[in-house]
Amino acid sequence: MPSRRAAEEDGPVVRVSSQGVTVVALLADPDAPTDIAQRMARILPERLAEKAGRGRRFDVTVVSEPFTSGTEDPPTLMRRIMDRGSAEDWDIVVALTDLPLHSHGRKIVVDLSHEHGLALLSLPSLGGLRLQTRARRAVEEAVLGLAGPQATEAEGPARSQPLPGPFAGRLAPVHPGPVGEEETADLRYVVSGPRGDLRVLLGMVRANRPWRLVSGLSKALAAALATGAVATLDSTTWSLSGALSAPRLVIAMVGSVGLMIGWLIVDGELWHRSTEGSPEARQRARLYNTSTVLTVGLGVLVCYVGLMVVNLVWALFILNGRVFASMTGTPLHATEYVTLSWFVASVATVAGALGSGLESDEAIRAAAYSTREKERRHMLEGDHGD
């Protein structure tokens, strides 16, 4: 890794290229991490220069590569990042992945190597809200910590200086964690406890982008939309929707959504079964399965709301108040429109669950998971086959 050390042999490492510019590479996994890295790279040089002060300058480049392919072991990933950076004219390498990383039963936020100018950031550990902002702040703090302190700062090894920002906070469940003596990293931040688990879980769901389920299950949606269009014209459906109370409509909604979720998970073989018997492996399996249920559940809810809106628009366009009143004995008012659309959405969701059986397992997985998560599951399936 081409870098420059401070004048004192035992002092902190200060990384500046020969041209007086610190070259920062954002090594990002494809898909969401690359998108996040490209957006932050537009403003990162200016923000880093402003925070570093003393006239320091930074040049930021984005490299999109699947550096986590085939493994999720943090020490292995750090060695890959070090090997990749040693072949380039980079002073600092910050790697971003949307895989959750684990070590000693803890979820890793970031691994730092001040000696080699490396950082490995796990995006799910930043949570599911304001991810772009949190990721940018995390990268800023990591780069500033690796680049070395200003001349006016207190002397001492860089690794002894904790990072501020998203890595420290009275209400945040982020704190330093243990690092093995043989590992490349010399400083690690982790999340732990219930709040930390929730933070990582939300980040995993965010990485899977559950809204993609809507466009990813075209055959299931076609079956649901066709069923809804026909059911809206059926006088029996009019009578049933008018006879159902609000609690029963809620039960119908929960039942249909639950059926859709269960069918997609079973039919698409989305449930993760750990072959290891260790408590850490079981905890990891629970985390993955919970994120799967939440991802699919949110996607199905989006589909349900969309079906309800489409059915409502269709009913407003096609229904005749006089015919509706003659068949049901009830005037066609706003309440009847909403009740009918609500009930038809439940019926259509059940039809969509059946229609999802026409989708391939690969299509379901593509709709439910991020690119890194799909590769991880392919790797696990290969291990099971061996």
**pLDDT band at residue 314 under the 50/70/90 scheme:** very high
Structural domain contains residue 244:
yes
Residue holding tokens 């995006």? 123
- CA–CA distance, 203 with 131 (Å, rounded to integer): 8
Predicted confidence at residue 24, as pLDDT, reads 95
225 neighbors 218 (Cβ within 8 angstroms): no
Residues 79 and 215 in one domain: no
Beta strands in the chain (DSSP E): 21-28, 57-64, 92-97, 101-103, 106-113, 118-122, 174-176, 187-191
pLDDT, mean of residues 74-94: 91
* Domain annotation covers residue 13: no
From 178, 202, 226, give the residue that closes a domain: 202
28: CATH: 3.40.390.10
Asked, for residue 158, whether it belongs to a domain, the answer is: no
Q: What is the pLDDT of residue 158?
A: 42
Q: Is residue 342 part of a domain?
A: yes
Confidence of residue 153 (pLDDT cuts 50, 70, 90): very low
pLDDT band for position 211 (50/70/90)? confident
When pLDDT is averaged across residues 31-53 and rounded to a whole number, the result is: 91
Does residue 154 lie within any of the structural domains? no
One domain for residues 266 and 298:
yes
Q: Are residues 216 and 170 in the same domain?
A: no
Same domain, 192 and 269: no
**Same domain? 117 vs 179:** yes
Both 196 and 242 in one domain: the answer is: no
Number of domains comprising the chain: 2
**CA–CA separation, 33 and 51 (whole Å):** 24
Provide the pLDDT for residue 257: 93
62 and 185 co-located in one domain: yes
Say if residue 227 is in the same domain as residue 307: yes
Q: What is the pTM of this model?
A: 0.76
What is residue 15's predicted lDDT score, i.e. its pLDDT?
62
The arithmetic mean of pLDDT across residues 8-36, rounded, is 74
- Spatial separation of the C-alpha atoms in residues 365 and 67, rounded to whole Å: 21
Residue 152 lies in a domain: no
Quick one: pLDDT at residue 266? 84
Q: Does one domain contain both 124 and 235?
A: no
Same domain, 321 and 370: yes
Q: Does 354 lie in the same domain as 251?
A: yes
Contacts of residue 310, Cβ cutoff 8 Å, sequence gap at least 6: 225, 228
Range of the domain at 138: 21-147+163-202
How much of the chain, in percent, has pLDDT values that exceed 90? 37
Does 257 map to a domain?
A: yes
Q: Are residues 248 and 268 in the same domain?
A: yes
In a domain, 12, yes or no: no
The answer to whether 84 and 1 have CB atoms below 8 angstroms apart is no
Mean pLDDT value across residues 230-247 = 91
